[in-house]
Structure 1
């Protein structure tokens, strides 16, 4: 069997707060969401529709928040896994039950919120869904620049990077119109659109506590810096697939891992998963599980 030395655990960048401090900051960001989740878990009986009009009014009065704040906190609680919806019933998620004692659960909940920043902060009205999706796909590069800069980065520099990434996405799609084309209606220029979408993205990331906005610049918070570093490390792991199965199909990857000892096999699984969107990776693995190969 193939055996390889395990990759040493990476150390976070100098100055990164300890996990306990990061968890404290995450608890502060999600404080209202936790209050609302606990209220819903304690007060919503079986079959009750969480945050129906009457429930919304009761929650706002009980917690001395505005209805808009309650709705925002409710959405954050769902995205962070603090609440689980089963039909019309709200139940506490496992992260809510572990909130006061498990820093790891807190950080995972905040990372889930961070990943969903585009759902927390609604996109500008009148913008095509394709343009919004391109901006969301370009944001990881913006975050990488912020993390690698280890300090404030000017908005014009971030805008240049966003525009470059969006242009690359256009080229990758190779969209070539066929047949006679009607003149497109007058719209905002690409530069104006990119600037609008960058502002939206930065505001959304600030809303979840990932960065702060200054006069013409943005800076990652300690939480945001740590989260982006973790994601960059995951990419590095994916790029260093020990046995070279990262580009294989799910079936071939699993067959290749069957010849490895447990440690290297786990490294292959993680690298393979890290290199793919979660949805497509799960779908591919499920398709293999439903197949006819008894070994898989």
Structure 2
């Protein structure tokens, strides 16, 4: 159903990818990859559609993340790239469209923006009721529910009423309605909301009733599940920053940490969560760098553009390359093969820094076994050449932890040479 509902948007997005990309001759007259009137006419001629259909499908493509617009240019979103091979990309695209239902149709002009915002804020409860009903529900019943929810929202904001002509209470905001009285004129707003949700394929309307489509019912269930996941954070890190959340997960077992990542992610939009995690990975703590990319593995495909964008950052490059290799289907045990010898060595030092800062001495000694170099002298030579900022500290910690006096002396000598520039 999601593929069918978004087929028109995919068609226009692929046309734009081919016709409006950098260096192509079919760009618009102003040289910008935007959907100007000329572009819409050209797309309509190429695809055998009307310009109005093209604009509607283009708007859908943008809302579904099939096209990403940056300033005056547009480029394909990750969902378009993954469309044919990844069903989850299709479903995520439709859920993004579902989340943006209030943008699908123009807002009623006769209503204040605040009233429209109240109706939009109250609709999740209406959708939940539709989902639990598992069948058609009279629109009048939905209107009653919407009115009750708006009253609750106003009460939660502590809005108070006062007599006409009287001074409002000190520090009280100007009221928008009486909390315990039904809000007026919500029927047109409900009609607009139901029509917008129907336009994105979430429900159907007819004979004074509304019914969620199977896809709409699934989407509402997913949203409810996300709320439940967020409420069941085992370590209580949902409201923390990415850095603090990762620190809180450092001592958890892998499965428990992944559950915490899922809860933290469920409470945020994907874009902001990914940005926070990558910013945390850029810090000086190597442990957080590794944990951030573990959390990004839980995010999955939506994180691909951001991870790909940091491949050229030396500090993040090895982690990003491994993440992308695994995302592309390479076995995690073989993913290290995508790294050059120098990148693998840099990653070994970075991981050793995390162990030295947060682990125990035996763990650092065992970390020697994960090096790609066949001998310790070869490892020391390449570690000294790789230029990691924590090289000296790692070698000093390894020398202090290793039980072999001769090997510890060689490691200490290497640390001294790096420190003095020798």
Secondary structure at 2:185 match in 1: helix
Does the 8 A contact of 1:40 with 1:50 survive in 2? no
Q: Which has the higher contact order (CA 8 A, sep 6+)?
A: 1
Q: 1:117-266 residue pairs with structure 2 within 5 A?
A: 117-176=101-160, 180=167, 191-246=183-238, 253-266=245-258
* Cα distance in structure 2, aligned partners of 1:103 and 1:282: 21
Quote the offset at 1:235 in angstroms: 1.3
Task: Calculate the TM-score normalised by the size of structure 2.
Answer: 0.57
Q: Deviations over 1:197-247 (max 9, x none)?
A: 111111111000011112111111111111111111111112222233345
Deviates more, 1:253-262 or 1:273-282: 273-282
**Displacement after TM superposition at 1:272 (Å):** 3.1
| CA distance in structure 2 between the partners assigned to 1:44 and 1:72 by the alignment | 18
CA RMSD of aligned residues (A): 3.1
TM-superposed deviation, 1:101: 2.5
Q: Flag the 1:262–1:35 CA change in 2: closer, same or farther, 3 A.
A: same
Q: What corresponds to 1:16 in structure 2?
A: none
Q: Distance in 2 between matches of 1:107 and 1:191?
A: 36
Unaligned runs of 5+ in 2: 23-30, 169-173, 176-180, 289-422
- Structure 1: tracts of 5 or more residues without a match: 1-24
CA distance in 1, matches of 2:278, 2:144: 40
Q: Pick closer, same or farther for the CA change 1:176–1:68 going to 2, 3 Å.
A: same
Equivalent-residue separation in structure 2 for 1:284 and 1:204 (angstroms):
32
Deviation by residue 1:127-183 (Cα, 9 ceiling, x = unmatched): 1111111111111111111111111111112111111111111111113479737x9
For these two proteins, the number of residue pairs brought into alignment is 268
How far apart are the structure 1 equivalents of 2:7 and 2:217? 20
Provide TM-score, normalisation by structure 1: 0.79
Local SS of the residue matching 1:60: helix
Q: Secondary structure at the match of 1:84?
A: strand
Distance between the aligned counterparts of 1:40 and 1:284, measured in 2? 31
- Whether the aligned pair in 1 keeps the contact of 2:116 and 2:189 (CA below 8 Å) is yes
Q: Say which is worse superposed, 201-210 or 237-246, in terms of deviation.
A: 237-246
Contact 1:80/1:109, CA 8 A, preserved across alignment: yes
- In 2, are the aligned partners of 1:241 and 1:267 still within 8 Å (CA)? yes
Would you say 1:40 and 2:16 are equivalent positions?
A: yes
**C-alpha contact 2:201 2:215 (8 A) present in aligned 1:** yes
Q: 1:38 to 1:246 in 2, by over 3 A?
A: closer
Question: Which residue number corresponds to residue 274 of structure 1?
Answer: 266
SS class of match (2:155)? helix
Q: 1:107 aligns with which of 87, 91, 96?
A: 91
1:67: Cα distance to partner? 2.0
CA distance in structure 2 between the partners assigned to 1:206 and 1:174 by the alignment? 33
**Comparing 98-107 with 270-279, which one deviates more in the overlay?**
270-279
CA distance change for structure 1 residues 139 and 282 in 2, over 3 Å: closer, same or farther?
Answer: farther
Q: CA deviation at 1:106?
A: 0.7
Matches of 2:211 and 2:160, distance apart in 1: 38
Instruction: Answer yes or no: is 1:93 the counterpart of 2:85.
Output: no
Residue 12 (structure 1) aligns with: none
Q: CA deviation at 1:254?
A: 3.9
**C-alpha separation between the residues in 2 aligned to 1:50 and 1:229?**
36
